[in-house]
Amino acid sequence: MSKALVIFSGGQDSTTCLGWAKNRYDSVQAITFAYGQTHTVEVEQAKKIAAMMDVPLQVVHLDFFGDLVNSALISGGDVNAPHVDNEALPASYVPNRNALFILVAHAFSQKIKADTLIGGMCQTDYSGYPDCREDFINTLKQALNMGSEQNIKVETPLMFLNKAETFELARKEGVLDLVLQHSHTCYNGDPNMNEWGRGCGDCPACGLREKGYYEFKEQFGV
Ligand SMILES: [Zn+2]
């Protein structure tokens, strides 16, 4: 029996991954991280979506993390600015966030006997997050498996898709309505409903999502 654990934020990408996983694995669980993000609406949406998809959800509180790192997603501020600690990266970058999530999820996978870990990391519509790159994810997987005598697979079905293709994948996997109605990606946590889903329409995450949605409609004739 195959079992997958999905790293789930309640956003567009990980909601799509949850649909993808449900259609491919015998058993699916999800894990969500509260790491001090200002847009806590994310965690609430994650709980709602997991319940609607009948997926058991583990919410992990990493309250300490926000005190240790700088990010506009934690302390607020201009999400369009460069990062205060590294001007090559955007202000919304959270140092080592994906490494921390994957580390914790990999440990939990061992307990629940999940053979595969799934994440919505994507290097195509690259938001400037070096910890979303495939090389990084694969290297981390190898290190974690080496350190635990495991052979847990890590799947990143969105890695080389653009946002339009991610919308199309959500449609194919039967979760497009869930993505549009309930998933949350906006850096400002704005629940305002648009044709392309929820969000403020001004932050970089909303910009990507809005642009991707209209490209999806045009490209796939939906
Ligand atoms: Zn927004």
CA–CA distances in Å: residue 144 to residues 29, 105, 111, 152: 20, 11, 14, 9
Kindly indicate the confidence band of residue 222, based on its pLDDT and cuts at 50, 70 and 90: confident
Amino acid at 178: L
**Owner of token pair 């949406």:** 45
Number of structural domains in the chain = 1
Annotated binding residue at 33?
no
Alpha-carbon distance of 90 to 99, in angstroms, equals 18
Partners of residue 34 on adjacent β-strands: 61
What pLDDT was estimated at residue 80? 81
The yes-or-no verdict on residue 150 having pLDDT over 80 is yes
CATH code for position 198: 3.40.50.620
Distance 47 CA to ligand 1 centre (A): 20
The domain containing residue 199 runs over which residues?
A: 3-220
For helices 204-220 and 163-172, the axis angle rounded to 10 degrees is: 60
Across the chain, mean pLDDT equals: 93
CA 55 to chain centre: 16
pLDDT in tens, 155-188: 999 999 999 999 999 999 999 999 999 998 888 8
Annotated binding residue at 166?
no
Kindly indicate the confidence band of residue 190, based on its pLDDT and cuts at 50, 70 and 90: confident
The pTM assigned to this predicted structure is: 0.94
CA 24 to chain centre: 19
